[in-house]
Amino acid sequence: MVTDIQETSISVINDIYAQQKSYHRTVGKTTASERIKKLKKFQKNILKYRKELQDAMWKDFRKPAAEVDLTEIYPVFTEIRFAIKNLRSWMKPTHVSSPVTMIGTTSWIQYEPKGMCLIIAPWNYPMQLLFAPLVSAIAAGNTIILKPSEFTSHTVRVMKIIIEETFDRKEIALVEGGVTISTALLDMKFSHIFFTGAPEIGKIVMSAAAKYLSSITLELGGKSPTIIDETANIKAIVQRITWAKFINAGQICIAPDYVIVHESKKEELVQSLSNQITKHYGSDAMHSPDYLRIINAKHFSRLKAYLENTIKQGGKVVYGGTLDEAENYIEPTLVTDLPLESDLMQYEIFGPILPIITYKNKEEVIELINSREKPLSLYVYSQSKKNINYFMQNTSAGGSCINMSAVHVGNPNLPFGGINNSGIGKSRGHYGFIEFTNERAMFNQKFPSAIQLMTPPYTEFKQKLIDLTIKYF
Ligand code: NAD
């Protein structure tokens, strides 16, 4: 898995930045039709390079072509189609009513672009997580510099071709590089920074943004729990959990990070998950064309250490556990009997290892979840409305699914994002458009203002008017 990224030079970045700086107001004045035209061209060029994208992601980490279609191209197309359908109404000023004391005025919200934007993306969904926010930023009328992850060099190369064939760089440009380039970009003044990645790096981005008071969207990660209660129908749900955990070899921000299952269902769950994993990837996932590799040696070693430390701390591997360093391969793995202090229960896993812990009382679940950072996602599998309500009302998360995992991100009518440690701000659909937009408050004084009746000097008559206003309006 080669990662020979062709780092963009600082002088080229400075040049792009200067061009975008002098062009962003022109882009900001574009009409809905002009932006829609750009989105259509973008979609056409992504489709043109579908095969190249599939080949590149296979080379980067053996992502199967079907998953490139379903989880990279399709979500971006969903965003493009949704924006094309709704952009005219999103851009239209929203008129709002005024209080009676403001009689003779009109007020409305005007949607103006934030201006110069920076999008920094991770490697796990290298195209989706770069291009989906890009759609929102284009729809909102911004100029954009894109900085994909340095770990998926083949995919980056194809995305660069797509961007360069579709857009002029004075409007949208993709720059290549790792931490050095990212740091150099974060040193520049942007109106908005949209970052997807780890919470620790999110903090670096947030402090960099503070320098210019740039607004930020932070799409971060963490440990997303899956609760399975005593009423859950294991047979019916096991495929959903297996799919969400082991697709992309677990390298998903909204994968079930760990399962907390009612003790009465543990044995059935372990057995069913084991059978289901074998159904998806065969008895030897290493030879399955549908199973990915870990992105690189660094992440492979991180996961290996989590697993080894957890086993030392008492964890039992009840399925899988085979690792191949030469291939960055980790078999889908289930671990039980692990202490809460173990590595697998302390750190975001972001890989194909699923810890399964048990509970007796619902209160234990709440205590565990609420003693940790608020998760990006929280899933509940249950047939009891009462239990579902209890788990939802007593926890907080960026998003949740009931009797499903991860697919909420696919509904463009829902906001996507985290809360606090798992993220700040929301993306996708209209929420993404708003994130890249300044909702400008507009106020027009059409007739003489009532304020004129209450300006100094405060005579007795004016004081009476003020008294009446306070009392009645
Ligand atoms: P990462 O934070 O290491 O890297 C993300 C981006 O930041 C990359 O482009 C990288 O070059 C850049 N970067 C890394 N270190 C930097 C630094 N010190 N200064 C400036 N820039 C830096 O994340 P990753 O390993 O690519 O992705 C995994 C993490 O991302 C996980 O925590 C996962 O949960 C999270 N994630 C979140 C979402 C979401 O939508 N919320 C989606 C995917 C991944």
For 100-145, the pLDDT digits (tens) are: 889 899 999 999 999 999 999 999 999 999 999 999 999 999 999 9
> pLDDT value at position 426?
98
**Would you state the pLDDT for residue 4?**
76
Establish whether residue 60 lines the binding site of ligand 1, counting it when its CB lies within 6 angstroms of any ligand atom.
Answer: no
Q: Given 253, 348, 401, 435, which residue is catalytic?
A: 253
Q: Hey, what amino acid is at 59?
A: K
Residue nearest to atom 35 of ligand 1 (CA): 197
How far does residue 121's CA lie from ligand 1's centre (Å)? 6
At 69, which amino acid appears?
Answer: D
Q: Is the dihedral of CA 59, 62, 66, 70 positive or negative?
A: negative
Pocket test for ligand 1, best of 79, 118, 174, 182 (most atoms within 8 A of CB): 182
Please indicate whether residue 203, judged by its CB atom, sits closer than 6 Å to ligand 1.
no
Q: Which long-range contacts (CB under 8 A, 24 or more apart) does 304-310 make?
A: 304/330, 305/343, 306/343, 306/344, 306/347, 306/349, 306/351, 306/353, 307/333, 307/335, 307/344, 307/353, 309/342, 309/343, 310/335, 310/338, 310/342, 310/343, 310/344, 310/345, 310/355
Pocket test for ligand 1, best of 131, 146, 149 (most atoms within 8 A of CB): 149
The verdict on the CB of residue 184 being under 6 Å from ligand 1 is no
Q: What is the whole-number distance in angstroms between the Cα of residue 403 and the centre of ligand 1?
A: 29
Residue 149 CB less than 6 A away from ligand 1:
yes
pLDDT given for residue 2 in this prediction: 44
Beta-bridge partners for 438: 112
Ligand 1 site-directed mutation target among 5, 60, 76, 124, most atoms within 8 Å of CB: 124
Q: What is the pLDDT of residue 3?
A: 52
Whether 10-220+424-439 shares its CATH topology with 225-412 is answered: no
Q: Where are the domains of the chain?
A: 10-220+424-439, 225-412
Atom of ligand 1 nearest to the CA of 417: 41
Position 116, amino acid: M
The alpha carbons of the chain give a radius of gyration, in whole angstroms, of: 25
Token pair for 252: 């998903």
Find the catalytic residue in 67, 72, 150, 219.
Answer: 219
Pocket residue to mutate for ligand 1, from 125, 131, 253, 431, most atoms within 8 A of Cβ: 253
Amino acid at 92: K
Whether 164 sits among the annotated catalytic residues: the reply is no
The contacts of residue 164 (CB under 8 Å, 6+ apart) are 174
Over residues 217-266, the pLDDT tens digits come to 999 999 999 999 999 999 999 999 999 999 999 999 999 999 999 999 99
Nearest-angstrom CA–CA distance, 108 and 240: 45
Q: Domain 225-412, CATH 3.40.50.300 — does that match?
A: no
> What's the CATH class of domain 10-220+424-439?
alpha beta
Is 219 in the active site?
A: yes
Cβ contact 376:423 at 8 Å: yes
For the chain, 473 residues long, the average pLDDT of each consecutive 10-residue run is: 78 98 98 98 98 98 98 98 98 96 94 98 98 98 98 98 98 98 98 98 98 98 97 98 98 98 98 98 97 98 98 97 98 98 98 98 98 98 98 98 97 98 98 98 92 92 94 91
Instruction: Please identify, by atom number, the ligand 1 atom nearest to the C-alpha of residue 299.
Output: 25
Share of the chain above pLDDT 90, in %: 96
* Rounded CA separation 280/240 (Å): 11
- Phi first, then psi, for residue 257 (nearest 5°) are -75, -45
Residue ranges with strand state E in 114-233: 116-120, 143-147, 172-174, 192-196, 215-219, 225-228
**Amino acid at the residue 166:** T
**Which residues contact residue 199 at a Cβ distance below 8 angstroms, ignoring those fewer than 6 apart?**
220, 221, 222, 373, 421, 422
**397 C-alpha to ligand 1 centroid (Å):** 20
pLDDT of residue 132: 98
**Residues 6 or more apart whose Cβ sits within 8 Å of residue 397:** 224, 374, 375, 376, 377, 378, 418, 419, 422
Q: Is 221 in the pocket of ligand 1 (CB under 6 A)?
A: yes
Closest protein CA for atom 43 of ligand 1? 253
Closest CA to ligand 1's atom 10: 149
Q: Is the sign of the CA dihedral 223, 82, 173, 415 positive or negative?
A: negative
Tokens representing 259 are 């399962």
Determine contact, residues 148/160, Cβ cutoff 8 Å.
Answer: no
For tokens 């489709």, name the residue.
47
pLDDT value of position 1:
40
135 pocket-lining for ligand 1 (C-beta < 6 Å)? no
pLDDT at 5: 83
* Residue 376 Cα: closest atom of ligand 1: 41
Instruction: Give the β-pairing of 192-196 and 116-120.
Output: parallel
Nearest of 88, 91, 111, 117 to residue 24 by alpha carbon:
117
Q: Are strands 423-424 and 215-219 parallel, antiparallel or unpaired?
A: antiparallel
Backbone angles phi, psi at 327, to 5 degrees: -105, -5
